[in-house]
Chain A
Amino acid sequence: MSERITITIDGKQINTFKGANLLRVAKDNGIPIPSLCYHKKLSPTGACRLCLVKIAGTNGLTASCTVQVKEGIDVIAFDDELEILRKNLLDYLVSEYSEENDNSYHDEFWELLKRYQIDDKLNRKYSSVKHLFKTQLDDSSPVLTYDSSKCIKCFRCIKACEEVQGKSVLSFTDRGISSYIIGGFGVWNESECDGCGECIQLCPTGALVEKPHRNEIDINKIDAKIKTTCPYCGVGCQIELWVQNGKIVRSIGVENVMPNDGRLCVKGRFGYDFIQSKDRLINPLIKKNGKFEEASWDEALDLIAFKFNEVIEKYGNESLAGYSSAKCTNEDNYIFQKFIRTVFGNNNIDYCTRLCHASTVTAMLRSIGDGAGSNSIEDFETTDCLLVTGNNIIETHPITATYVKRGVAKGMQVIIIDPKWTPLVKYAKLWLQPRLGTDVALLNGMIRYIIHNELIDKNFISNKIDRGWDAFEELKSLTDKYTADYTEEITGVPQEKIIEAARIYATSPTSMIATGMGMSQQVTGTNNVFSLINMMLICGQIGKERAGIDPPRGQNNVQGATDVGASPINYPGYIPIGNDENRRKVAGIWGVPFESLSAKPGLTTVEIAKAAYDGKIKALYIMGENPMVTDPNLNHVKNAFEKLDFVVVQDIFQTETTAYADVILPAASFAEKNGTFVNSDRRVLRVRKVVDSPGLARQDWQIIQEMAQRMGKPMKAFRDESEIFDEIAAVTPMMAGVRYNRIENEGIQWPCPGENHPGTSTLFLEKFNTPNGKAKLNPVDYIAQNEKVNIDYPFLLNSGRILYQYHSATMSRKNNSLNAFANESYVLMNPADAYKNNFQNGIKVKLVSERGELQTILQISDEVLEGELFMPWHFSESPVNNLTRDELDPLSKIAPLKLSACRVERVMF
């Protein structure tokens, strides 16, 4: 901010900054000027008039919320005249207002009435006029209720929606005293509202209230309000969970801390009911004669220990594998990988990151040395240009998207590359819609334009790129054939758009890239990202603040799980297992013989299933994963799992995968755990225990430790999660300086190499994390897809996620509030294709690929190109992965979940 100044309020000298908001300065300095329409996250409105003050030299009274302070101003905030006026204003307001209150919300208005002693009707001057006008009640939304009789028309909800969330869904209707707030044409659930509830959080009265648990919640009887980290996507929003009678009854966004500063999406605010679902696993279950029977922990763990040891004895160490979990904490994942490496004695540990950003991480590690996002979430608001590619950011990372939308309002230019329309298109300067699987060609075309028009950063190429101009020349000659015509021919994108996109990206003072599953989940996934990085490097759009590449992570702890070593090739901190020195160091900290740690790279997710099919893997230990929905070519996975001798699944629910288990172990959910997650911008965030686990459910890491003990290979015993984290910090150089006591209030972004290090908001400012500190260009050619359409399979199917569900939906679908928004599978088809096939909207269809088939509902939509289809993959009754391939990207072993040739048939009733 600008220069420091001194102002006076009621005779008190206050140091502040020029231009600061007077009301905020007063409140921050303990001068309790009353207000209702003002909120520090919103632009001032000046509607309620309660914050009126006198400013020396200014005639009359001024609403302090509208004043930007200047040096030396002298303010009277409290005197008899002002207080009488405020009391009168409140008295007027309350005469139009309904005083019914069910104690389910915090009422700022009522607090002021008490403060001015007019909560008692006998003390008021004005009688109620409420009965003179019509009031409106909109109860149509699944998550909130609007009652105009409680509404003081302060604008906070409208501004919360527009300024904080960037959605602008709400508005006023009618005039004067009978005006009220509406969504849509007056019916909330028919509006664009996506249920994030920001308006509820900022409503000062009870006009907008949450619907879930409203009948039971009493804000005077809340037993605990505990801050923790949201368990859904990789944004890592800080939430405060309210507990009443041992039950979670509300989730609100924590203000003033990153990454979300109080903002939440519909999942963060209304997606917590799964925790106390009646479907939670509460007992260990053992399959006997094809049926699961309840068992004690002793019985279950002894059986597992016996069986795992038996497999080791019979088939050797290499015949076991583990899937760890992006939904579990760092502490759980750390113990899990240690278990696989020291108890199983191999490196066969992977998880669904393999099917997520493995290719992105592979390309980034090879080019720039780190696979994590180079920027901070707040940079999504302040960069000049954002290139969003294959990333439906509004639906998959709703809070990151709020920063983007706020940036657009201030002039940021957004360029979208996506074969499918996404809601961000409404905010974008440009939308390039390439055919599925043609990304490398498109990017090479942009690179060629940038090179030929001298939009490159020569300094950067000379100083920051490995082999400098030689490497550049290689890229130049490889991309030379991607002329505008040729690129348009392959991708279908009009060349003017390709040129404009290249120009904006290259010439903006700072440009950032958000890259998602559309780029990564392809057989050429790594090449796609190489291409993207090549363009970024020659433009010098990294290595400075607000520039770089960011892969928003899909799950809450995808970043952290890999950071702490849930990887077949890396120890915690991305330390390669193959290196003797690394193994010696890790063996020392873990207190195991160096020789006992295998140097052989382990199998990846899809490879584990294939090895099971081939009889090479005999036993599988799955923690918090649901491969029977998430893995490609599910029919093959089923066959593979059926061949396994012994499967243990540890989860919070029965899933499609537990059906294949021999033993199911009940685990604690995130709300029953202490620990940490790492979010997409590398923030190590605290997870805190809010409620007790149901039944006999236990902490994941404790189950693993107990299992090791019973297998006769005890691991170091930890007393609690903070002790585990201390060991993580010891093994993981980039988290060396992080301790629980440092992240109590707000997370720290790694790398944080020392206890006095503040963490790092932007990577690569000085150098890249490669051996010589320089970035590498990796020129790649466009390779046409093997999977092509033909007469039998004339469509290309794309898949993805939607806002209201999450991953394989084991958690999200246990929430009625979320299901009320979206609970049904569908496939999108272009209107021209529907017309050609004589298909009508809403008919039941069968999709068939070479691998399998499924049934779903047809939706006709111009969101997809002709010849292409799109399906959300959350819904296990229409499992998209029946259709997908398990062919792998050779470099990263990711599967091409975004492109499957298939046909569509009408299902006759």
Chain B
Amino acid sequence: MKIMTEEILLKYKPQKNNLLQILHEIQTEQPHQYLPETELRKVSKYLNISMSSVYGVVSYYTMFSIKPRGKFIVRLCQSPVCDMLGSQLIANKLKELLQIDFNETTSDGLFTLEFSECLGLCANKPSMMINKQAYTGLNVDVIELIINDLRNESKNSDN
């Protein structure tokens, strides 16, 4: 059972410095890992800050989304180091595998492709994260395995 926004809010004092924490919790609890406008309105009202300042924060941080996202959020590092070592190839492979562009979600609701600022995993680049799992030393073959694994895992867990 997911936690309602109202319950999340009550855990925090109505002070605007709690905004980021609240937004993270709400997004995590949403089935599609995003921040619907209805929930943002509640946050704005509870913290007594304008809707635009909530929205400004949400749109600033790439970790937040205002669009429904897939079960697996693939975040490919776009730092210069990863770029030099072929992240563009990875990006193309991901698009080909999933048949979507970046900032889009597959029609089965499984995958969302996003770019990320530097993930700090430069020691073994190129890198990406899928949800909370980091993947490093990527190449196009590995990518295919990872994506297929996740597809299968999802199928099995559905059965």
Contact = CB atoms under 8 A, between A and B. Distances in A.
Nearest to A190: B51
B107 to A, nearest CB: 26
B120 interface: no
A171 B48 contact: no
A315 interface: no
B50 A169 contact: yes
Interface stretch (A121-129, A172-180, A266-274, A644-652): A172-180
B37 to A, nearest CB: 6
B59 A173 contact: yes
A192 B37 contact: no
A426 interface: yes
Interface in B35-73: 37, 40, 48-53, 55-56, 59-60, 66
Given A174-B60, A175-B60, A186 B50 contact: no
B40 A168 contact: no
B60 A183 contact: no
Contacts of B59: 173-175
Contacts of A167: 50
A450 to B, nearest CB: 30
Given A184-B51, A192-B50, A171 B37 contact: no
B60 A185 contact: no
Interface of B: 37, 40, 48-53, 55-56, 59-60, 66
B20 to A, nearest CB: 15
Given A171-B53, A175-B60, A185 B37 contact: yes
B56 A172 contact: yes
Contact of B56 (A171, A191, A192, A426): A171
Contacts of B40: 185
B51 to A, nearest CB: 5
Q: Which 3 A-B pairs have the closest CB atoms?
A: A171-B52, A171-B56, A173-B59
B53 A185 contact: no
A183 B56 CA distance: 10
B55 to A, nearest CB: 5
A173 B49 CA distance: 15
A185 B48 contact: no
5 contacts: A167-B50, A173-B56, A191-B51, A191-B52, A426-B48
Interface string A152-179: 0000000000000001111111110000
A186 B55 contact: yes
A852 B7 CA distance: 46
Contacts of B66: 185
A45 B22 CA distance: 29
B49 A184 contact: no
B55 A185 contact: yes
B63 to A, nearest CB: 13
Interface of A: 167-175, 182-186, 191-192, 426
B4 to A, nearest CB: 19
A191 B50 contact: yes
Nearest to A425: B48
A182 B60 contact: no
A426 B37 CA distance: 21
A414 to B, nearest CB: 14
A184 B49 CA distance: 11
A329 B55 CA distance: 47
Contacts of A173: 52, 55-56, 59-60
Q: Is the interface of A mostly helix, strand, loop or mixed?
A: loop
Given A174-B60, A175-B60, A182 B55 contact: yes
A184 B60 contact: no
Contact of B51 (A172, A174, A192, A426): A192
A182 B52 contact: yes
B48 A184 contact: no
A172 B59 CA distance: 9
Contacts of B53: 168, 171
A183 to B, nearest CB: 6
Nearest to A182: B52
Nearest to A172: B56
Given A173-B59, A174-B59, A174-B60, A183 B52 contact: yes
B56 A168 contact: no
A861 B2 CA distance: 28
Contacts of A191: 50-52
Nearest to A167: B50
A181 to B, nearest CB: 8
B65 to A, nearest CB: 14
Nearest to A184: B51
Given A171-B52, A173-B52, 11 more contacts: A168-B50, A169-B52, A171-B55, A182-B56, A183-B52, A184-B50, A185-B52, A185-B55, A186-B55, A192-B51, A426-B48
A171 to B, nearest CB: 4
A163 to B, nearest CB: 14
A784 to B, nearest CB: 37
Contacts of B37: 185
A175 B64 CA distance: 13
A185 B51 contact: yes
A170 B60 contact: no
Contacts of A192: 50-51
A168 B50 CA distance: 7
Contacts of B50: 167-171, 184, 191-192
A185 B52 CA distance: 6
Contacts of A184: 50-52, 55
A168 B66 CA distance: 22
A170 B52 contact: yes
Contacts of A174: 59-60
A486 to B, nearest CB: 33
Contacts of B51: 183-185, 191-192
A206 B53 CA distance: 23
Nearest to B57: A171
A171 B52 CA distance: 5
Nearest to B62: A175
A171 B60 CA distance: 11
Nearest to B51: A184
B3 to A, nearest CB: 23
A175 B115 CA distance: 15
A344 to B, nearest CB: 55
B29 to A, nearest CB: 20
Interface centre among B48, B49, B50, B52 (most CB of A within 10 A): B52
Nearest to A158: B52
A170 B49 CA distance: 10
Contacts of A185: 37, 40, 51-52, 55, 66
B16 to A, nearest CB: 11
A760 to B, nearest CB: 38
A168 B55 contact: no
Interface centre among B48, B49, B59 (most CB of A within 10 A): B59
A189 to B, nearest CB: 12
Contacts of A183: 51-52
